Each structure stands twice: as C-alpha cells, then as structure tokens.
A and B are shown apart, each in its own frame.
Chain A
Amino acid sequence: MTTLETARQLPPVAPVDPPRAASGLSSKWWIYALLTVGLLAMIGPFAWMLLGSLKTQRELLQIPPTWLPEDPTTANYTRLLDRLDFPRYFWNSTLIAVMITLSNLVFCSMMGYALAKLRFFGRDKLLLLVLGTMLIPGSVTLVPLFVLMSKLGLVDNIFAVILPAAAGPVGVFLMRQFMLGIPDDLLEAGRVDGASEFFLFRKIVIPLSAPALAALAILTFLPAWNSLLWPLVVLTSEENFTLPVALAIFARGQFAADYGLLMAGSVVLVVPVILLFLLLQRHFTQSFTMSGIKG
C-alpha cells in the first residue's frame, strides 16, 4: 500500500503529459487499433443479440448469416407478450430490485452511521463480525436459507428473495468508510444545540453522503436485478418468476433452440441495465472503485 499511497500524495506537477501531447495520435494508432478490436469483442455479442432479436427463426439459422435483419420483425417481442408472461416477470424483477435497493439504502446508512460516528457497547465487535462475513460464499447459506424459508412458509414468495438481500455487509462497509470522512465538528455543533442523533443523521449525514448512497444504490440494484441462483431455488411457480429465472428456464427447456425469442428476452433483460449504466456512468465506475480500493 505504501508505495502507491506516497505516489498518489505527490502533487501532480504536469497536468498535461508533454510527451503524450507531442507524439500525438499518429504514434499511438496501434493502441487505438488494439482497443477497437477489444471493444468489438466486448460489445459485438450485444449488437448480435439486438440484431438477432429482430430476425426470423429462418434467418437466424441461415448460412451464411446476415448481418442486418433482411426483413426486420418484432414477432419475437410480441411472442414474449402473447405466449409468455414477460410483463409479469419484468414487474417481479423491478419490484424485487427496487425493494432490495431501498432497504439497503436505509439499513446500511443507519448501520454505517452507528459504526462510524456513534460510540456504543459492542460496536467494534459488531464491525468485525459484519466484515468477517464478507468472504463467505453464497452457497454456504443456500441450504439453511431454504430450510428457514420453508419453515416461514415463504417458499415461492417474492419476499423470500427480498428479505435475505435487504441488508448486506458490503453496503455497511461502504457507508461506514464514507461517513468516517464526515467531520465530527459538524455533528458536534448540532449536538451542542441539542439536536437528536436522528435529526443529525437526516439533516447532515444523509445529504453529505449522497455520492456513497448513489454508489450503494447501484451496487445493490445490479446484483438484485441480475440475481439468478437464489430466486431459481426459492421461486417455483411461473407467476413469481423474475426475468433471469424465466429466461434461464426457457433457455434450458422448450425454447432452447428458439434463438429469436431468447434473444428478444435477453434484450428486455439487458436494456434497462444498459440505460441505467449510460445515465449513471460516472457513478457506476465510482461505485466499484469505492467498494474496491477503499474496501
């Protein structure tokens, strides 16, 4: 850690890298060429998915393949509506992801505040306990959670998906690390004026923590939206399926070779995330570096 920290703390003397400016684009063409090849490999499959979703089954299996749909059709999408209950899965996925995100924002920010700014009995042990669970693989809790949900009568209920994800250690860690940086003097002044901790939390800490909250929202929404394993285990009837569960089951079952339908379903699953990603791009990468380098 030390070398990097020191290197970072040195003042950035040269704001523009002179050799870079001098050599310009021409000497770097091969870097751009390589990056572009890489880019095609990364986003090509998504383009292929979108194009494929607009082709007929006959065109999808044609050799040689067509790049652009010869006869663009929305039939695959209408089939998602007519033959499958995709609006329902979309609603389930949205409901689950939004509820998980909101509860994490509330629970993790409260817990983060307690761990960062309040002194209470057992605090440091609690922190260690929470951090200690971060390396534990998800498959460890899979079986006991299922047993618990059976006992609670929540199997095949979307709350069985929401509850275990309602608050996670990563979120607590992120919020605590961020809130440690809020000056104590600010809170102190409020305390002297007789403000309650809850008032300070709502009026000072939460507004100041906006960047961390944005990062946390992204960090919880994404896995909740994309989550596959646990919903697949605990949701059994079709009306409760989320988008990934429905698509995974159809892809392995009766629609395994129906690429057009599956790719249309994939587009429906991926587009909301891509839109969010493009909109909140800065927050996205920040959220991962925040949870990463700082944690």
Chain B
Amino acid sequence: MSAGVTRADQVVPPGTTWSRVKPHLTGWMFALPFVVVFAVFLAIPIVASFVLSFTNFGIANIQDWFSADLIGVENYTNLVDDEKFLKAARNTGVFVLFGVPLTIAFGLIAAVGLNQALGRAVALFRVGYYLPVVTSIVAIAVVWRYLLAPDTGLINLALDVVGIDGPNWLGQRSTALGSIIALGVWRNLGFDMVIFLAALQGINPTLYEAARVDGARPWHIFRHITVPLLRPAILFLTVITTAGYLQLFEEPFVMTGGGPLDSTLSVSMYVYQQGFSFLNLGYASAIAYALFVAIVVLAAIQFRLLRSDDTA
C-alpha cells in the first residue's frame, strides 16, 4: 500500500517557473479546505491541550488565554494522589480487561455461526446483530435502564420465575461495572462480527476440504486453520477495541452517571467532570493526555505481541 509515484510529475514540461510551481499549487488547492479544518479544529487543539496540561487554566482564563500560569508537571504529579482519578483508571482498566476479549470472542462466535448459515437467514441475522452498533447509546440506555430496573425490569422478573432474586444491577457497587461491561459487549460485538465475517469469507474453502480429507475434527479445524488465518483481523480488532474501550464514556454517562460511589466512573468521564463541572481545564487536559499515552503504549504492546506470534 505504498504511496507510489504518480505520474503527475512526468507531464510537467521542464522549463518555466510557472510550470514547475503549478502542480504544487494544484495539489495544495485540493488539500487546503481539509487542511484548514484539520489544523484549526484538530491539530492545533491537540497541541493546545498539551500546553494546557502544564497550566492552571481555569474558567477565568477563557477570554484572556495567557493569563493562566505555567505550573510545570504539577497536574501530572497530582494525578498520582488523586483517589478519584485512580478509581477511574482502575474502572477503565477493568472495562478494557474484560470487555475487549469478551467482545472479540462473542463477535467471533457470531461470525463463525453466521458463516455456516445459509440463504436469507444470513441477512436477517447480520442486520439484527449489527443493529446495536448503529443506534444511539442514549436510546439504548433508556431501554436497558428499563430492562434492568430492580423491581419492574424484565430481567429481574425473568430471574424471579426461576427463583433468583435479581440485584439492583446499576444501583449497587458490586454489579454496576459488570453491567456496563455487558452492555459494552452487547453494543459492540456486531462490529467485530462484520470484520470477522469478511475475513472468514476470504479463507479458501479448499483449506477446509484438505483438513476434512485428513480427518480433522471441526474443533481442530477451527483451532488450527480458522484462528491462525484470522490473526490479522484479531490484531486489528484488539488494537481498535482497546483504544475505543479506553475512551469509555457514553455507557456509564447515560446508564449510571459514574455511580454508585464512582464505581463506574471512567477516565473520559473524569476529564468531562474536571473540565466542565469543576472547570479545572488545565487538569482535565492532563488527564486526557495521560489517557492518550496509555492508548498509544497499549497499542504498541499489542502490535509487538500479536505480530511476533505471527512470524514465529
């Protein structure tokens, strides 16, 4: 997928300055509208956020930016002693640790099952499994809060039938984070399924034929042919699901508001709280940057681990 050499340069006749400058101007003309939006609303804010993280920028500085004081790494050293941040980091870590493998596993199971199904049923299943991916988290939260309600929710009423006294899923510390993880898996497994399905359909059926002729059992075929061939898809999904789950915000924000007692508070939610409830904009930027570093480091580690397996 290298950029390659396009031939635009070859049509430029050597000679006048204008003919030498023109292709560059044309290129930049096409790039400019994007570059302006990109620079003003993404690139510069990314740098600004880094600078902000070394200041005590507060709401009072919002009109006169340079009235904030540089305080060095104080925001970052404060993180280590901030109980609430540590709790948010722990919750986010637990969400990633359980959420990522579960999402990928369920996505894979659904894809393998769907790959066996025939005809129109496939389309129906695919639409159904994919529905939560494309719908708004706010709508999802409304119906799941109703389903998980302690006394009137369908889930606890169903558990009642089999004699289990269902807990107050979102209202108590022991089950709230678990419920959020389950919701995250439910909401995102359809995406993984689609990626796996595309990869599965790319596997040559003769490989399966050969294995069957050799008398391999279905489980062995899955374990020794399907999974190794899916490694690129697994790597891709691990990296992007981890990066996405580390940014956990919407699920707890709409389901629990971070409670009870911060048991579902995530790092991104804490950025939001510090920035827009407590108006410590400098500190919020430092938290966001710490999260960014965690994402990059984890992605790099995953690339190392899963790549080296591939070549081994």
Contacts and interface: CB of A to CB of B under 8 A. Distances in A.
Interface in B1-17: 1, 3-9, 11
B68 to A, nearest CB: 10
Interface in A39-70: 39, 41-43, 45-46, 48-49, 52, 60-61, 63-65
A117 B8 contact: yes
A142 B229 contact: no
Interface in A238-287: 243-244, 247-248, 251-252, 259, 262-263, 265-267, 269-270, 273-274, 277-278, 281, 284-285
Contacts of A138: 247, 268
Interface string B114-143: 101110010111111111101111111111
A225 B195 contact: no
Nearest to A249: B138
Contacts of B139: 49, 247, 265-267, 269-270
B144 interface: yes
B18 interface: no
Given A31-B113, A39-B129, A119-B8, A163 B37 contact: yes
Contacts of A111: 30-31, 33-35
14 contacts: A10-B204, A45-B147, A60-B152, A107-B34, A115-B3, A118-B8, A119-B9, A124-B3, A140-B285, A140-B288, A144-B44, A184-B7, A233-B272, A233-B276
A143 B52 CA distance: 9
A164 B142 contact: no
B48 interface: yes
A94 interface: no
B288 A43 contact: no
A277 B43 contact: no
B204 A277 contact: no
A76 B113 CA distance: 39
B272 A228 contact: no
Interface of A: 1-4, 7-8, 10, 12-14, 17, 19-20, 25, 28, 31-32, 34-35, 38-39, 41-43, 45-46, 48-49, 52, 60-61, 63-65, 103, 106-108, 110-111, 113-121, 123-124, 126-127, 129-130, 133, 135-148, 150-151, 163-164, 166-167, 169, 172, 177, 180, 184, 187-188, 191-192, 197, 201, 222, 225-226, 228-229, 233, 243-244, 247-248, 251-252, 259, 262-263, 265-267, 269-270, 273-274, 277-278, 281, 284-285, 288-289, 292-293
A259 B249 CA distance: 23
- Among A25, A116, A229, A267, which residue has the most Cβ atoms of chain B within 10 A? A229
Nearest to A41: B186
A46 B136 contact: no
A254 B169 CA distance: 22
Interface string B211-255: 010000000000000001111110010001001001101100110
A61 B153 CA distance: 9
B250 A229 contact: yes
Interface stretch (B79-87, B173-181, B289-297): B289-297
Contact of B288 (A113, A126, A139): A139
A126 B39 CA distance: 11
Nearest to A218: B134
A236 B94 CA distance: 33
Contacts of A52: 143, 146
Contacts of A61: 152
B272 to A, nearest CB: 7
A192 B11 contact: yes
B191 to A, nearest CB: 6
A167 B46 contact: no
Contacts of B299: 135
Interface in B78-116: 110, 113-114, 116
B129 A288 contact: no
B26 A110 contact: no
B interface secondary structure, majority: helix
Nearest to A276: B134
A289 to B, nearest CB: 4
Contacts of B65: 147, 151
A115 B38 CA distance: 15
B309 to A, nearest CB: 12
B42 interface: yes
A106 to B, nearest CB: 7
Contacts of A188: 7, 11
B168 interface: no
B291 A164 contact: no
B244 to A, nearest CB: 9
B202 interface: yes
A178 to B, nearest CB: 12
B254 A248 contact: yes
A247 B138 contact: yes
A288 B134 CA distance: 11
